A = this chain, B = another copy of it.
């Protein structure tokens, strides 16, 4: 399914999510795991659009989400930094989701430099994440 660039931007402005989870994880050096993720969730009736996104970005997976919803997800640091982030830098989101995107990008760039593997870098990431996905912080 062919998707136009600006259609993708508009759709992600409505339905996309740039999220970073910081989980406690005993086997990690500092005891925490940082998981950035780009997702678009849709009712299973529109799964073909999620496959369209996967095809367009040439990365990620389409998987079952909750209930009768499906999700397109990109978790690979390489794909986030080389495919997803450059796309939304070139074609900016128009909603305030663009602010989330820039925080997300900052986390991914820090992780690429291995910042999540030392405590000051991890603190910086946790500071950014605390301000993300909080309605009042935007």
Query: Which listed segment binds B: A1-9, A20-28, A107-115?
Result: A1-9
| Shortest distance between the CB of A24 and any CB in chain B (Å) | 31
Interface of A is mostly: helix
List the 9 closest A-B pairs by CB distance, nearest first: A14-B14, A10-B10, A10-B11, A6-B6, A7-B10, A14-B15, A6-B7, A4-B6, A46-B95
Q: Which residues of B contact A138 (CB under 8 A)?
A: 45
| Shortest distance between the CB of A91 and any CB in chain B (Å) | 9
A1 to B94, CA, bound (A): 10
Complex interface residues of chain A between 58 and 116 (CB less than 8 A to chain B): 94-96
Interface residues of A, Cβ cutoff 8 Å to B:
1, 3-15, 42-43, 45-46, 49, 52, 94-96, 135, 138
A5 to B95, CA, bound (A): 16
Q: Which residues of B contact A7 (CB under 8 A)?
A: 6-7, 9-10, 13, 94
Asked if A96 and B4 make an inter-chain contact with CB atoms under 8 angstroms apart, the answer reads no
Q: Can you list 12 contacts pairing A with B, beta carbon distance less than 8 Å? A: A3-B94, A4-B6, A6-B6, A6-B7, A6-B10, A7-B9, A7-B94, A10-B10, A11-B14, A15-B15, A42-B95, A49-B95
Asked if B46 and A96 make an inter-chain contact with CB atoms under 8 angstroms apart, the answer reads yes
